[in-house]
A and B are shown apart, each in its own frame.
Chain A
Amino acid sequence: MDTTLFTSIVFFGSLLAGFLGALTGLGGGVVVVPLLTLALGVDIRYAVGASLVSVIATSSGAAAAYVREGFSNIRIGMFLEIATTLGALLGAYLATRLQTSIIGVVFGAMLLFSAYFSSREHKQAGGEQSPDHLAHWLKLEGSYPALEGQQEYHAQRVPLGFGMMFGAGTLSGLLGIGSGAMKVLAMDQAMKLPFKVSTTTSNFMIGVTAAASAGIYLSRGFIDPGLAMPVMLGVLAGSMMGAKVLVKAETRYIRIVFSLVIVALAIEMIVTSIKGRL
């Protein structure tokens, strides 16, 4: 297989990964890394480097659309980015230190979590909206356009949300993914923010989080231009196509199929890592 054929396969695989990632809301990174490592035999450090770059591209591209709709909250995003970027630094350092088999096992575990997250019915964490002094002092509140007009919201349990965001950042830096699922969980379940606000703000944060590990990746030689080129262009094009289809498509079945694929990838990833062949 020469470089032209290899690049074409990686491009079309990344296109598909970006497309499915956008449809299911999990992002392209969760499929790209297993594709590169398991199917094409790429070293996981090159794979996470290329994936991280594609994450920055899709997040920045998609965030541009979301901010205009008026759902994402820039203050909440910026405050939580302190946690995610610090976590991302830690994650990137771990990626340069840990054995590839350990990274592979953690990746597999993250895939299982993503499959669960993607297939579950979404329940809004409702309940009390008691005033939270810390959240109020930090101005972690806002309003968003709903069917009944502008709805106000106030963040709850700020330290818990902040801590989970640090974890999400660490996973992002270690695995070269956006960890959007965990970011959403921190906002809508822990901090009890509206789901739509959580997903759009999460998307907004992913690019900044990933940029915090990218410098370290670059200095350690994780970012190979020949590999990152087709991955970034493929995932970006695929996710733009996915976002267009998403508006019309019924995604329930796609989600179920995608979850099954992810579970299979997770098992393959963990087994391959334990056997020391990753």
Chain B
Amino acid sequence: MEQNLGNLSYLIQREIQMRLLANLLRDFISEIGYDQAMAVANKTIQKDGMKAGKTMAEKYGGNDISVLLRVIGEVWAQEKALEFEVLEKTENRLRFNVTRCRYAELYDRLGIKEFGYCFSCNRDEPLIKAFNSRMKLLRTQTIMQGDSICDFLIILE
């Protein structure tokens, strides 16, 4: 889901996909139950995150903290989809807060906020792990879950 098609922004691509996914998922939930439907969605999203992380490392020709910050700025935050503030950046640590998340706003607008964490936030960890297997994401809060900021901390072990 990560690659860009034509000139469409990542956010627009997400919108197209999430409308479809949310409607299918609602059908699945009524057919096979919430737990199984969400488990399938989670697995799909996480696999996609892994694929995206690998692709990003290849595309950017590196997988250190500096490259990750470029990916976050150029891909995740494309067209101001995220507004974020870097608090700490060393060779081994990247700490930043997301202060505005247009993905969360998008899910809200589409009336599918209950799936927002599963569809978006949930792919960050496998994505980062696939980007660099020595990286670990520690995050205690997200805007998607109702907090005022997302507090990202990425550690390179």
Q: Do A and B bind each other?
A: no
Give the interface of B toward A (CB within 8 A): none
Give the interface of A toward B (CB within 8 A): none
